[in-house]
Amino acid sequence: MGFVVAIDGPAASGKGTIAQRLGEAFGLPVLDTGLLYRAVAAAVIAAGADPADEEACARLARDLELASLADPGLRAEAVGEAASQVAAHPKVRQALIEVQRAFAARAPGAVLDGRDIGTVIVPTAPAKLYVTASAKARAERRWRELTGRGETARLADILADIERRDARDGERAAAPMRPAPDAVLLDTTDLTIDDAFDAARRIVEAARARSGLG
């Protein structure tokens, strides 16, 4: 396995943007693992299945193709809500574990962001970050993103949705969202994305130095 950067944290914390910029900075491929669950959720919705039906969700997860991650429709709020339900199913998570580990195993390494990368998917990753921010700050970011695309959104509704997802992700029995013991906490509440990336880059550079990569 090459040099792996594991980035975990809640929705709208900035971890996805940080992951993409770290991938560019260090020449590593990036996998937004949340898109895997969104793709399964989109397949569940398209099939008219119930996101609460673990067996149906697991079947669709086993048939998932990475090419489906390019679908811009995966960013829709309805898909995100369904994805949070789908991701709570142990059989779905098991079906997607090997996909994520195979991506991480490629040379010269990879950047993966999600909810359980440093705790479950790649617990031996030399660089681990847990990116977070207050629920209020994350809701405001999501609201600006949605309204910037011309969508109608209420800040109060987005905040309630984020709090529901946080509770579901943190309390699920299978791979609950929490920092790995050796992850570096990066709170982006009061940081610009440039400042957050700069802090993340320094964390990764320190990890690379410890690994002898300089």
CA 95 – CA 59 distance, rounded (Å): 9
Architecture of the domain whose range is 3-209: 3-Layer(aba) Sandwich (3.40)
Both tokens of 74, joined, read: 């995966």
Both tokens of 142, joined, read: 């999501």
* Burial of 100 from C-beta contacts in 10 A (0-12 / 13-18 / 19+): buried
Closest CA to 181 of 2, 60, 8: 8
Taking the complete model, does pTM exceed 0.85, yes or no?
Answer: yes
Amino acid at 68: S
Residue whose pair of structure tokens reads 């950047």 in the numeric block:
111
109 - beta bridge partners?
Answer: 3
Asked if 55 contacts 91 with a C-beta cutoff of 8 angstroms, the reply is yes
* Burial of 106 from C-beta contacts in 10 A (0-12 / 13-18 / 19+): middle
Enumerate the domain spans of the chain. Answer: 3-209
Residue whose pair of structure tokens reads 């929705």 in the numeric block:
11
Q: What is the pLDDT along the chain (214 residues), one digit of tens a residue?
A: 689 999 999 989 999 999 999 999 999 999 999 999 999 999 999 999 999 999 999 999 999 988 899 999 998 888 988 998 998 899 999 999 989 999 999 999 999 999 999 999 999 999 999 999 999 999 999 999 999 989 899 999 999 999 998 998 888 887 888 999 999 999 999 999 999 999 999 999 999 999 988 6
Residue whose pair of structure tokens reads 């929490």 in the numeric block:
178
